[in-house]
Structures are given as C-alpha cells and as structure tokens.
Amino acid sequence: MFTFILKRLLQSVVVMLTVALIAFSLFRYVGDPINNMVGQDTSLEERAELRERLGLNDPFFLQFYRFAADASVGEFGFSYQHRRPVKELIAERLPATLELALVSAILALAIGIPMGVYTALRRNGFLSRTFMTISLIGVSLPTFLIGILLILLFGVILRWLPTFGRGDIIEIGWWSTGFLTASGLKSLIMPSITLALFQMTLIMRLVRAEMLEVLRADFVKFARARGLPTRSVHFRHALKNTLVPVITITGLQLGSIIAFAIITESVFQWPGMGLLFIQAIGEVDIPVMAAYLVLIAFFFVVINMVVDILYFVVDPRLRIDKALANGQ
Amino acid sequence: MSIISKTQILKANYQRFIDSDIWYSFKKSPITVVSAAVTFLFFFVTIFAPFIAPHDPFDLASIDLMDASLPPAWFLDGETRFLLGTDDQGRDILSTIIYGSRISLFVGFVSVIFSLILGVGLGLISGYVGGRLDAFIMRVADVQLSFPAILIALLIDGLARSLLPRELHDEVALYVLVFAIGISGWVQYARTVRGQTLVEKGKEYVQAARVIGIRQWTILLRHILPNVTGPVLVIATIHLAIAIITEATLSFLGVGVPPTTPSLGTLIRVGNDFLFSGEWWITIFPGIALVLLVLAVNLLGDWLRDALNPKLR
C-alpha cells in the first residue's frame, strides 16, 4: 500500500515537471520576454540591465528551477494582455469555474445514476429505449451545439433565462459566489446543464452496463433464491456493487468537466478560467497560458491520484490480490 | 486442370461476401443501412462539392449583398435559389455547408489516419520489442490518457499558434489541426495493437518465420500486422466521429481552421453571433449537418463493433 502510493506520487511529480517544462519553454522561448514587458522607448542598455536583473542570462536549469519554485506557490508573473499578476486573474476566475463544475457534476450524478439503474432493470421498457436514444444523441451532439440550442430555445425564443455571464454575484472574502442570488442561480441553469449532459449520458451507460453485469452474478441469484424482496436485491445488493467503478470514473470525469468547461464558458461567456485561457490563446498571452496549463495539470494529477488511492481503499479485492501476489 | 476465370473468382468472392455474417447483420439492421447511406452521401457530396453545390460561396463575384440574410426557401421572404437561406454576406447556406463538411471530413479523416499510423506503429513496436521501450511508451500513453483528448488537441493548437507567426499560421492551420487531433488520439490504437501483438508474438507462425530467418521488420509488418488490424477498424470508425467533433469544437472556439476556409464548426461560430437577431438558420443548419454526420458515423461504428465481436454472435 505504502509503496503503491509512493510510486504513484513519484509518477505525478514527473508529470508535473514535464508540464512545467513545457510551460517554462513557452515562457522563455516564445517571443522575447523583455519585449513583452517594456515599451518601445526603452533603450538597449536598459533592456540589457533588465535582462540581467531578471536572471534571463542564467543557465537553463537555474531559470527552470526558479520558474518551478515560483509556480509551486502560484506565482506566474504578469499577464501581457491584462497587465496584472496572473495569480490575481486566476483567483478571480477560479470560483466561477469551480461552481459551474460542481453543479454539473452533481447534476450528472443525480440524474445519470437513476437513469442507468432504471434502464438496466427495465431493459425493454419504452422509457428505457427513450433514455438510450437520448443518450446516443447526447454523445453525438457536441457540447457547444447543446449550449447554442439551449440559448436559442430558452434565451431567444422563450426569454426565460439569461444567455451569458454569471448574473449578480456576492463576494465572500476572495470567493465570489452566484449561489446566493436569484439571477446568479438562473444564470447557472443553462451552462450547468450543457456541461452535465455529456457526463450524464456517460454515467448512465456505465451504470447500466455494470448493473446488467452484476444482476447476472451468482450472489444476486442467491439473494433472489433466499426470497429477499426485489427492492432489496436490486438496491442493496446489485446497486451497491456497481458503484465502485462508477465512483472511479466519475472522479476521473471531474477533471474532464473542468476541461470541457472551456467550451461551455465560451458559449455562455461565463467568466471562468476556461474563457480566460481561450482568450489568452487568441492573444498569445503566454503567462496566462502557462499558468492555466500548470494549474489544470495539477488538478488532473491530484484527481487521478486520489481516485487511484480511493479505489484501493474501497475495493478490498485489490488489496487481497496484492497480498496474495506477494506470497503473504 | 481446369482454368478458373477472373469472373468466376469475382463471383465466388461476391458470393462469399453475400453469405457472410457481416453482410447479414448489416441487412438486418435498418438503422445501420440508413447511417451507412448518410455517411456515403456525405463523402460523395463533399468529394464532388464543386459540381453539386448550387453556388460557389468563395467566389466573390457571385455573392450579392442584396441577397444577405434571407431565410430558408419555405419561409415567406425566402427564395428558391437559396434553399436553406443565406448568411449576412449573401452566401448560400447550403453551399457553405457542403464546402464546410468538406473541410470537416478532410480534417477528421486525415487526423484519424495520422493517429492510426502513429498508434498502430507504436503499439506494434511496443508489443514486439517489449522491455524498457514498451514500459516507456505505455507510461506515456497512460499519462496522456488521463487528460481528455480535446484538451491535448487544444494545447497543441495553442502552442503552435504562439510559436508560429500569424500569417504563416493561417496557411498551415489545417495541418496544425490535423497534427493536434492526430496526436491526441493515438493511445487507443497503441493499447489495442500492443495487446494483440503480445498474443500473436507467441504463436507458432511467428516462431516459424523467425526460425527460417525472416527479418524482424518483415515479420512485424507482413506477418503480425495483418493479424492485429481487426479491432483497429472499429476504433478508427468511432474515432472519426470524435475527430470531427473535436475539429468542430476547436473551430468553434476560434482556434481551429481560419475563417477563410470555414469548416462546420467555424460556420456555427460565425452564425452564433446572429442567433440573437433572429437569423437562426445561419447557425442551426450547419449544426444539423454536423450532428447528422457524427450520429451516422457513430451508429456505423457501434454496429461494426458488435458485428466483429465474436462474443455477441
């Protein structure tokens, strides 16, 4: 168990260093950092002096070390476009993305799991077939198109919901939340549904497939033979055993939700990190790009690691297999 | 000795195809027949786009601003010349969709081939050579798999955008996109092919080939490769749908193909600005085309996966 975690940790560190190296190369070698910082009228001597002071003449590894050390405390310098520290920009945008991702994840789970269970139990029912068709369309509809269709229907034709932005937000310390105002909640509806739909279909299909598998297992047959009520067999025996892989996949999907938020955010002009990143790509705003790159890699690495370890903890079979393999 | 004529061989092959399980399961599934027809139609129309499209949307001489923003033909102020209406510059929507699908299919198709060659190649080498190289390739695959493909494609595209000067970038944008989507999708192929290669490697025919002294590369390409390609076809079909969606998404985000050669995604992005002024057809029709194409390819892939899976027969 301990060696497993250690190995996993080491791998994560290697991934983070690789990503940091890419981000750093971007920083250092795309364009001239000095040119991006000073105006036209700065003299050559001043530039050389600035170059020396910033340590741009130092050896590569020393520079990379400084970059990594700064990055690990969230320091990515100034945005070329906004002329403000990247740290501030990200901190400003982070709550918007996280709130959106959280609501979407909850939506996807709360609707996806019951739908999956239902389609597995009533395989040939009319409603099951409808769900399966919807899920196929959900997979084939690109996220941005779902957003556009929702905007057209509820924003332009019916005029029920706001089509862009977060509505009114309330600041709590450095965190800005849209959960506490009516317009904030209303603004959240369409983006969160857009973002959740794909994950929802994924979870539904996964739960259905797992459930069908488990329902064929011997212990379920045995539970039936013991004369347990169907309800108990379905929910206490079958469902419980399907949830392990569902938890894993959902955990891994949390990262995808944050990544896919880029699309949703640009459809709905949601002021989150994804929108910041897309605008940074358009403007070649390298510090912002580098910061986003490192941050998202960090999210992914942490999520993956936690899920892997959780998997180990939740599923006792894995531990026993390992123990047997070690000859204990 | 009787001489078998070419036509007889053709006939026999044809008969074998008609009697095969694949053809049977194809015939028995109307949805599959329809989606195959739709996919074929898309390929046909886009390949012969210049002859089929009613207008040339890139010919500035034929565009008239007087025709701008006309609704589809079945509306009161629509014109039959423009079946699906026109955009803000007076371009025929149907024609832009046909030319747009051409770009979308091209990018999708070429990036699938790119992924396929890269993935199958690395998978073969990884499985056949084994050892440290195998461990390294699979580690990289694991890491890449933990990030969503679209994010990787977006990053590569973003990197290229910042590395290349703007004028140069617009010229090569299409190839950058193919490269980005191609790189983001190789892992599936590599994993599957590696697994298959490991199985085939131990079989007698490979050992026999080695014993009689055939070169390693020949064994790999002529003996093992043909035996591992079955699942690759299924992955490639489903990947085509994913690649088309990825391209459309990147173009929608404004980092894909340049607006001078619009793909379906670019058309949707451009049309999106007119959604609020009521000109919904500029964005909705390219959207429908995209969904139709992706749905058809997806269904075809689903069918192929089931048809080639011996467990389900």
B134-163 residue pLDDT tens: 888 988 888 788 778 888 888 888 778 777
Q: Which residue has the higher pLDDT, A194 or A304?
A: A194
The predicted model gives B13-26 an average pLDDT of 79
Residue A320 counted as domain residue:
yes
Query: Which residue among B148, B163, B252 places its CB closest to the CB of A256?
Result: B148
User: Which pLDDT score is estimated for B107?
Assistant: 92
Using the predicted structure, report yes or no on whether residue A328 has a pLDDT greater than 50.
no
Overall number of domains in chain A: 1
Residue A66 counted as domain residue:
no
Domain of A250: which CATH number? Answer: 1.10.3720.10
- Which residues on chain B are in Cβ contact (under 8 Å) with A257? none
Residue A228 counted as domain residue:
yes
- Which residues on chain B are in Cβ contact (under 8 Å) with A284? 161-162
Residue A116 counted as domain residue:
yes
Residue A215 counted as domain residue:
yes
Percent of chain B with pLDDT over 70: 92
B241, B301 contact by CB (below 8 A): yes
Query: Which residue among A15, A144, A281 places its CB closest to the CB of B158?
Result: A281
Return d(Cα A189, Cα A212) in angstroms, integer. Answer: 32
What are A85-107's pLDDT values in tens digits? Answer: 888 888 888 888 988 999 998 99
Q: Which residue has the higher pLDDT, A86 or B124?
A: B124
What are A281-290's pLDDT values in tens digits? Answer: 877 778 888 8
**Residue A78 in 3-state DSSP?**
strand
Q: Element (H or E) spanning A177, and its range?
A: strand A175-177
- Residues belonging to chain B with any Cβ–Cβ distance to chain A shorter than 8 Å: 139, 143, 146-148, 150-151, 154-155, 157-159, 161-163, 241, 245, 248-249, 252-255, 268, 272, 275-276, 278, 280, 283-284, 287, 290-291, 294-295, 298-299
Residue A143 counted as domain residue:
yes
Residue A249 counted as domain residue:
yes
Q: Which residue has the higher pLDDT, A38 or B45?
A: B45
B181, B107 contact by CB (below 8 A): yes
Residue A84 counted as domain residue:
no
Q: How far is CA B53 from the centre of its chain?
A: 22
Question: Scanning every residue of chain A, which has its alpha carbon at the shortest distance from the alpha carbon of B289?
Answer: A141
The predicted model gives A70-90 an average pLDDT of 79
- Which residues on chain A are in Cβ contact (under 8 Å) with B254? 278, 282
Mean confidence (pLDDT) of chain A: 81
Mean confidence (pLDDT) of chain B: 83
Min Cα distance A110 → chain B (Å) is: 23
Using the predicted structure, report yes or no on whether residue A211 has a pLDDT greater than 60.
yes
Among A45-54, A88-97, B38-47, B107-116, top mean pLDDT goes to B107-116
Range of the domain at A221: 94-281+299-325
B259, B281 contact by CB (below 8 A): no
User: Which pLDDT score is estimated for B284?
Assistant: 86
Among the listed ranges A41-45, A220-224, A259-263, B286-290, which one has the minimum average pLDDT value? A41-45
Query: Which residue among A156, A266, A284 places its CB closest to the CB of B275?
Result: A156
Return d(Cα B115, Cα B85) in angstroms, integer. Answer: 37
The predicted model gives B101-110 an average pLDDT of 92
Q: Element (H or E) spanning A51, and its range?
A: helix A44-53
Query: Which residue among B163, B253, B278 places its CB closest to the CB of A278?
Result: B253
Among A59-63, B74-78, B134-138, top mean pLDDT goes to B134-138
Among the listed ranges A130-134, B34-38, B158-162, which one has the minimum average pLDDT value? B158-162
- Which residues on chain A are in Cβ contact (under 8 Å) with B299? 136
